[in-house]
Structure 1
Amino acid sequence: MTAVGPLDAMFLLGETREQAMHVGGVMLFELPEDAGRDQVFPDGGREFLSRLYQEMVGARTVDPVFTRRVRRRAVDLGYWSWEPDGEIDLEYHVRLSALARPGRYRELFELTSRLHGTLLDRHRPLWEMHLIEGVEGHRFAIYSKIHHAMLDGVSALRFLQETLTTDPDRTNMPAPYSVRTKSAVETPPLGSLVRVVPDLLGLSPVALKSAVRALLMEHSSVAFQAPRTIFNQSITGARRFAAQSWPMERLEKVRAITGATLNDVMLAMCGGALRTYLLEQNALPDKGLTAMVPVSLRGLEGQGPGGGNSLATLIADLATDERDPERRIRRVMDSTSYGKTMLSQLSPLQNLMIGALGLGVAGPAAVLPGLAGRTPPPYNVVISNIPGPVESPLYWNRSRLLGMYPASIVLNGQALNISVTSYDHQLHFGLTGCRRTVPHLQRLLGHLEDSLQDLERL
């Protein structure tokens, strides 16, 4: 029996029917050339995928991370803890689905939207994986989701990477849940959590002042300085998901011209897209929007101080009130530089607690009925950049991975999430929004392209 970490517990505490607390994503694959094309009536790889599915549910080993379920017992003084499920049912967790014809990306992302809007069963380990056949262009997809209390996005991506290979002919590749990675997440015993307190008490007056300034100073467009927008209203449990990829080379050219980081270029790209989207809705506020940006605290070995989640946060100015793209990216650069300076003055555990505060400041609107949209939001949108395998193409059981699109959490009062990951010289954007609060979410994809073109003209 192990304790649920403090930040992990926040994701369990904050979950409601309207506010699911799982993260996930879509991996898009190209079927091998000989799958379903050697017959008079091609089956679109159905037999190939059926065989893969049987191998997945027949896995003999399951990583302990994926067998644990959450419990809240009186002996734990009301605190959540993890316990192993000794009879995990893989046929429940792993499912085979098919798209309706014609199997376009539109149908794939509609299915993803529905799957992402349903809660995970807390009586079981908190994850699911869906093998999806029938994607046009001789392709298939895997949609997976896992509760944020179990893993953060960086850890989840590490598990996925362990299942992939650069060898296009390799077979018998494992499913993510059957791999024991060197960076597997270990949750601390309940008693070890008290060691966080001395570290927090170790904040020097200067560091404490820096942390407070990082949350409150208007110059950095930080918490409680964001304008009210249509994104900061009540949400429903239904989701909409949209995704697209952009060549990393295009953003690298902007980075070289401006001296920004690649992440700054991505944030400026989002800022321009959100500006156009809100102008279309006649809902652009006079003040610039801000984004909460999670920052991973995990080292090269994947270890961090927070159990399933090791995240700090900073607040970025998206400068949506700025028409000029060059001035917009300069403001983004100033705000992220300031935030990184603040984080560098804190220890990993102090950063973890500041990260919890960064997530927690959205809490009142998220958990108190009727509050969302009535009070100033701490930030307007969450934008995450999860580093992935950048260089070589990867394969799973001879199927080439074409794209990996993250799907994340939206909160009551925070109805839009933009998550990005890198792979094979591309940035893959996944947009998750409340189906009712964020209308025409897919239009943001076109606005992202237009915003990038504006930056390329600098």
Structure 2
Amino acid sequence: MRRMTPLDAAWLTVDSRDTPMHVATLAILSKPKNASPTYLQDLVKEFQGARSFVPPWNLRIRQSPLKNVLPVVEEIHDIDMEYHVRHSALPHPGGERELGVLVSRLHAHQLDLSRPLWECHIIEGLENDRFALYTKMHHALIDGVAGVRIMQQSFSENPRERGMVPPWSKRAATQARRERVLEDAAFSPTGWAQHALASTRSKARSVAGLGKTLAHLVGASGNRENALTSPYDSPKSVLNKRVSPPRRFGTQQYDLDRLKKICKAADVSLNDVVLCICGAALRRFLLESNALPDKPLTAGIPVSVRPAGDVQVGTAISFILSTLGTDIADPVLRLKAIHASTDKAKQELQALTRKQIDAYTLMVMGPFIGSLVTGLGGRTRPVFNLTISNVPGPQKPLYFNGARMEGIFPVSLVAHGQALNITCLSYAGKLNFGFTAARDTLPHMQRLSVYTGEALDELEAILVPSGKSRSTSSTKRKAAAS
């Protein structure tokens, strides 16, 4: 058993019917050559027949002596696999729209907190003889980087490899040694108090070193000449209202080479280009609704602080904040403003120690989590307007027992005051965008996914004039729920 960190526990605390706190991936696979007619039924039986489990797939929440205060997770080995592994089929014609409708519906439902916090849905009926795996897990147990690493270790680069087991039965090489079991005394009232006191002292020492960074953040608020974006300096917008359970999901896929050429031409990072085309799409989307704020929208950008190879349970992220330049019509000037903002934010974060980063993350995210707990989320000024994340993934094609993964798309979470999330995941020379939104708050969200492609065309035409617009030749995928 292990005790959850305060940030991980917070994701459990705010989990509700309106705001389920799980993240997911949608993997599109093509069946191996000469697959039998019962290939998918056999795959379901194999997945459901697993009897050997590894963390985080076999972890269940066990409450601490004080309810909802630093709960612990315990390993169990009696898991109802027919509940956790489910078989679905798409209606004809099995296109991206039908898939998007199903994924949106599956993503809207809470996980059962009395069971291990995950589900896997095997989805057949996708056109061109393909199938999909939609797998979701609670954010208290996993973040995007760890999720991608688990996925990589569960698949193979060898299309001929067979005898592979499901991810919940495969122990990563970096986890060959089991996590140390805490003594039962740690879960007594005395043990809990000692743990909490030690944690508080450690955080207090870290907070003492944050003065300079916090002063910079406060000084940046309202200062249009300062590139640093500060919390709560974001305008109110339609993105920051209350949400209800229904979800909408959309995807786009672009060649990484296209974005990298823009990066080179403008001397900016890939994240800067992603933020720029998202900013352009949001500007157009809100202008069409006559809802564009005068101040630029801001993005919270998760930054992994997870060591290489680490797939331990829990989240290991911090945040930087950036402008999205939605007040700037010129795409090149918008890109420059975003680059200045992210560059300054990264400098501030890199100046902190790991403990100071943990304390800083709690200071930035604490009020956001608190607003969800108290019911103020979506009723007060947002910390930032939306989350935009870019997770590096495998750059070689992956296979599972001969089935080739054609693409993988992230499906993230939304909350009161955060009705939209845009997450990107690179894979095999492509950058895959997943747009997750609260359907009732943003009923036409699928337009955003289309607008990012047109914004990319525009930026490319200006900065890489030798490369013609790819609006018709680039690979694009859309999956939108009605």
Fold match, TM over 0.5? yes
SS at match of 2:455: helix
Is 1:405 the counterpart of 2:409? The answer is yes
- Percent of aligned pairs with the same amino acid: 38
Match of 1:289 among 293, 297, 303: 297
2:95–2:126 Cα contact (<8 Å) kept: yes
Deviation of 1:356 after TM superposition, in Å, equals 2.9
- Equivalent in the alignment of 2:233: 225
Match of 1:81 among 62, 68, 72: 72
Report matched runs for 1:165-204 at 5 Å: 165-184=156-175, 195-203=198-206
1:290–1:315 Cα contact (<8 Å) kept: yes
SS at match of 2:164: coil
Q: Which amino acid aligns with 2:360?
A: I
Distance 1:175 1:299 in 2: 25
Answer with 282-291 or 206-215: which moved more.
206-215
Report matched runs for 1:103-182 at 5 Å: 103-182=94-173
Deviation of 1:449 after TM superposition, in Å, equals 0.5
Deviation of 1:357 after TM superposition, in Å, equals 2.9
Is 1:384 the counterpart of 2:375? The answer is no
Deviation of 1:105 after TM superposition, in Å, equals 0.9
CA distance change for structure 1 residues 454 and 215 in 2, over 3 Å: closer, same or farther?
farther
Answer with 161-170 or 223-232: which moved more.
161-170
Match of 1:278 among 268, 280, 286: 286
Deviation of 1:327 after TM superposition, in Å, equals 0.8
Report matched runs for 1:273-352 at 5 Å: 273-302=281-310, 308-352=314-358
2:409–2:425 Cα contact (<8 Å) kept: yes
Deviation of 1:198 after TM superposition, in Å, equals 4.4
SS at match of 2:253: strand
Deviations 1:105-143 (A, max 9, x none): 111111000000000011100100001110001110000
- Equivalent in the alignment of 2:444: 440
Is 1:13 the counterpart of 2:13? The answer is yes
Distance 1:193 1:426 in 2: 44
Q: Once superposed, what is the RMSD of the aligned Cα atoms?
A: 2.1
Answer with 85-94 or 6-15: which moved more.
85-94
Answer with 150-159 or 418-427: which moved more.
150-159
CA distance change for structure 1 residues 34 and 303 in 2, over 3 Å: closer, same or farther?
closer
Deviation of 1:303 after TM superposition, in Å, equals 6.4
Size of the aligned set, in residue pairs, is 445
- Equivalent in the alignment of 1:25: 25
Answer with 238-247 or 371-380: which moved more.
371-380
Q: Which amino acid aligns with 1:96?
A: H
Report matched runs for 1:209-220 at 5 Å: 209-214=212-217, 217-218=220-221, 219=226, 220=228
2:146–2:311 Cα contact (<8 Å) kept: no
Deviation of 1:350 after TM superposition, in Å, equals 1.9
2:6–2:70 Cα contact (<8 Å) kept: no
SS at match of 1:64: coil
4+ residue segments displaced more than 3 Å: 75-79, 182-207, 371-374
SS at match of 1:362: helix
Distance 2:319 2:209 in 1: 19
Deviation of 1:194 after TM superposition, in Å, equals 5.1
Unaligned runs of 5+ in 2: 187-193, 464-482
Distance 1:272 1:30 in 2: 34
Deviations 1:296-336 (A, max 9, x none): 001113168xx501111100110011001111111111111
Distance 2:330 2:290 in 1: 19
CA distance change for structure 1 residues 50 and 150 in 2, over 3 Å: closer, same or farther?
same
Distance 1:163 1:313 in 2: 28
Distance 2:100 2:276 in 1: 25
Answer with 211-220 or 172-181: which moved more.
211-220
Deviations 1:174-214 (A, max 9, x none): 21111111445969956666554444333486642213433
Distance 1:276 1:183 in 2: 45
Distance 1:318 1:453 in 2: 18
Match of 1:90 among 76, 81, 91: 81
Match of 1:425 among 399, 406, 429: 429
Deviations 1:375-422 (A, max 9, x none): 2211100011111112x2111111111111001110101100001111
Distance 2:429 2:264 in 1: 16
